[in-house]
Copies of this chain bind each other. A is one copy, B any other.
Amino acid sequence: MLNVERIDHVCIAVRDLDQAMKTWGLFFGKSRPDLVYRHDPEAIEVARYFVGEVGFELMASTKEGSDVDRFIAKRGEGPMLISFKVPDAEAAMKELIEAGFELLDNRWRQWRDSRYFFMNPKYMNGVLVELID
């Protein structure tokens, strides 16, 4: 069965990444995030702060009408995604489908050396669950 090792990262949908980095930089006592990246397939720019074994990510939209924009329009800024680390995303996808879970779509995506996919939040108590290897 699924082997969830840890929470890999959580994403906070924010309107203004610079503003959010000021707030959270002060909170974490870090003048700079541990990682900043842009991921065009999801239309996001991200500032990541490592907090223990978890990446705490501030995530802003880079394209009008993106998923982040739609989330914020509907629910306001706040926690949008929880990503769980698994050893093998492709195997995890297969196991979840076999167990009867509904995924967002039945394909995995690539980010750097990792593969990831999403579950349908409608069936996960409103949590946009990502699995990543």
Q: Find out whether the CB atom of B12 lies under 8 angstroms from the CB atom of A53.
A: no
Distance, CA A127 to CA B82, complexed state (A)? 14
Q: Which of B23, B85, B123, B125 contacts A14 (CB 8 A)?
A: B125
Q: Which of B7, B77, B79, B85 contacts A78 (CB 8 A)?
A: B79
The secondary-structure label for the interface of chain A is mixed
When C-beta atoms are compared, the residue in chain B nearest to A58 turns out to be B125
Residues 7-40 of chain A, each 1 if its beta carbon lies under 8 Å from chain B, else 0? 1001011100000100110111100000000000
A residues contacting B by CB (< 8 A) are 1-7, 10, 12-14, 20, 23-24, 26-29, 51-54, 56, 58, 75-80, 82, 84-85, 96, 99, 101, 121, 123-127, 129
